Structure 1
């Protein structure tokens, strides 16, 4: 520990408490349906005529007690201006998370989601619609792997990292109570009912392990534990980097780009007042999204009363393309889970040796062809330039 770090005693204590609070509220798991597999079976059996009932797990914390803990933190005693600003912003974000989780399954939830993930800019909706128009509809994939096979591929990916970084932890769980592939506090969680397209396995490993797990583990090597759970608004940059990982490794295929665009369009419909069946049907009829994919997109958007989170994938990669064109280095974004907006602040902490450079380098930067693709993006690219196939007639 450097002398700079030792001087931060009070700050590191508050950092630790904010991290504990975030872990206790666990926004990701608490907004993930526990019955998605059965809900799909019922929906299909009913010939797609009745909106599903998506069940969320009960909260395992008392919102009032957690709020009290949050506001008892003496952030005013943190002398370092950078950390003081960061901690106040994180406290504000956590207060919003607690309120949003209390508001699940009410009409108020969507407003909490907007506060956490931001408004939907007309330019983003226009880019999404352009992608859906540009890229021909894709046939549903028939070749897939099971949750067990994906878990095995994930363990092998962890082994590749461990070969270079022997202390790199590996944590893979196949779970019946999650409906989507996700990384929660460094653990890769795989839905037991998952059927993952065979050609998506490698891109998803670079997305989940190479981005979300790598930045978690890099954050875990820092004195600031908030870098493991994420600085305020980190999600958008994380997903932008993860989509970049897919692109650089040749895995951002037309189907995937259409899904990212369709998520934005679905959220736009939600905010216009559309309900599940209307969103689902418009994805199928207007954009010719395959049925099961349209189901997945629509459930993610209506969960809890309406979530705008899924706009962060397309918005995130758009922002990453902007900073690449500006000549910014990606390296600082691997220090932990942070947002593009935090780059100057994190660079300041690196320069003062409060933080250390990233421990692990993502493998996706070094796959054959990745650097050439990155150089092309640095020359300037829009999100539609990520599509490299035939244009729809």
Structure 2
């Protein structure tokens, strides 16, 4: 490396090291005693979670010292690279985001927690563009569509007849075929300590030990956790200079989760029940933003047909880090919000003939607002193109054709088409 690359690499490594102890989901989750108490009262009593509860579970780092560490890195980025250096601008924004994350975690159990969460991940009432529907509007719209599909009665889910161990074995086999030479470093294993059915790390995917799965679930996990989350992590770890691309602040969470949902769609791995899960998360967050408490969100899930324990699990995702009567933790908006944003980005890239920028979404834990800069950094040799790419993004012929049709179809009025087609549908 030349001197400039060494400076960038050193600053990047400082960000990677500084963020290591920050584990947002570990810091905000509720322990088993809260779940057990709620179930003991048959879902009729609010969970006992307040500021004191979080104080009893201190952060794994000194918050003041960690904020100062990021402040010092940000200052050194400016000193060593200048105010307008492209890669420096990305690193400074990351430092600011991580400081905001720490402030959010310091505010667990208070109203500020929810307000900072909205700054980091957005709110359900946010519009995509002036005059466009909001995320909450999208959730209601999807619910209407899904209700119409449910009325058919012939699209029932396959039985969940795979144990966690069987799902682990099947998923491991599929990922081995995808990642080839990296197969020995990617592990799939059971875990008791996660809220979701699965979660991806740097070189592993954890499967919740008490969950049941079917073949469609495993395919979705392969696409979502493997082809996106693990692949982007490995591509980030493969960066020789901009090592920060292996780690993702909240802004990259929105992009990465959106990319994962898009991959589910174009790989035909998604299905109505999966979409309803994402829609319900958005609706639950919107309810809490509008003043609903834990019991009201829990009852919303019960009305959807979820069991007592499932309803608790889903509602606790909304209020983790907060209190049962407080503002929600809005991270779960990332899925649908990110999908819309990434889809629009790819549409515009095709429209403007900038296809070379689309695969760069996978070069690490990227953020949409950095994509133009990343293209420049690739040209400069500071960022290497992604090594692991899903087939749908390796050959852009089909994706480009789809987006060309999509760009045109966006100009048609579906309401007018519905009226015209009334006699044939």
Q: Same fold (TM over 0.5)?
A: yes
2:45 to 39, 42, 50: 50
Gaps of 5+ in 1: 386-393
2:100, 2:346 → 1: CA distance? Answer: 31
Higher relative contact order (CA 8 A, sep 6+): 1
Task: Give the TM-score normalised by structure 2.
Answer: 0.79
- The answer (yes or no) to whether the contact 2:393–2:399 under 8 Å persists in 1 is no
Q: Which residue of 1 aligns with 2:204?
A: 187
Q: Which residue of 2 aligns with 1:324?
A: 346
3-state secondary structure, aligned to 1:379? helix
Alignment of 1:129-168 (within 5 A): 129-136=140-147, 142-163=159-180, 165-166=181-182
- The answer (yes or no) to whether the contact 2:392–2:399 under 8 Å persists in 1 is no
3-state secondary structure, aligned to 2:81? coil
Q: Which residue of 2 aligns with 1:376?
A: 402
Which digits, 9 at most, give the CA deviation of each residue in 1:346-384, with x for residues without a partner?
A: 0010111111111112256589xx9757743552278xx
How far has the Cα of 1:162 moved from its partner?
A: 3.7
Which digits, 9 at most, give the CA deviation of each residue in 1:307-328, with x for residues without a partner?
A: 0111110011111221222215
Q: Which residue of 1 aligns with 2:65?
A: 65
1:50, 1:141 → 2: CA distance? Answer: 34
Over 3 Å counting, the alpha-carbon distance change for 1:322 and 1:272 in structure 2 is: same
Do residues 279 (structure 1) and 283 (structure 2) align? no
1:187, 1:32 → 2: CA distance? Answer: 21
- The answer (yes or no) to whether the contact 1:264–1:311 under 8 Å persists in 2 is yes
2:370, 2:195 → 1: CA distance? Answer: 31
2:145, 2:370 → 1: CA distance? Answer: 34
Q: Which residue of 1 aligns with 2:334?
A: 312
Q: Which residue of 1 aligns with 2:288?
A: 270
Q: Which residue of 2 aligns with 1:390?
A: none
Over 3 Å counting, the alpha-carbon distance change for 1:8 and 1:78 in structure 2 is: farther
1:184, 1:261 → 2: CA distance? Answer: 25
Structure with higher Rg: it is 2
How far has the Cα of 1:145 moved from its partner?
A: 2.8
Number of corresponding residues: 373
Q: Which residue of 1 aligns with 2:376?
A: 348
Alignment of 1:1-393 (within 5 A): 1=1, 3=2, 6-35=3-32, 43-44=38-39, 46-52=41-47, 58-73=58-73, 74-79=76-81, 81-120=85-124, 121-122=126-127, 123-136=134-147, 142-163=159-180, 165-166=181-182, 169-180=185-196, 181-222=198-239, 223-230=241-248, 233-285=251-303, 288=304, 290-291=306-307, 294-305=311-322, 306-326=328-348, 327=350, 329=355, 330-363=358-391, 375-380=401-406
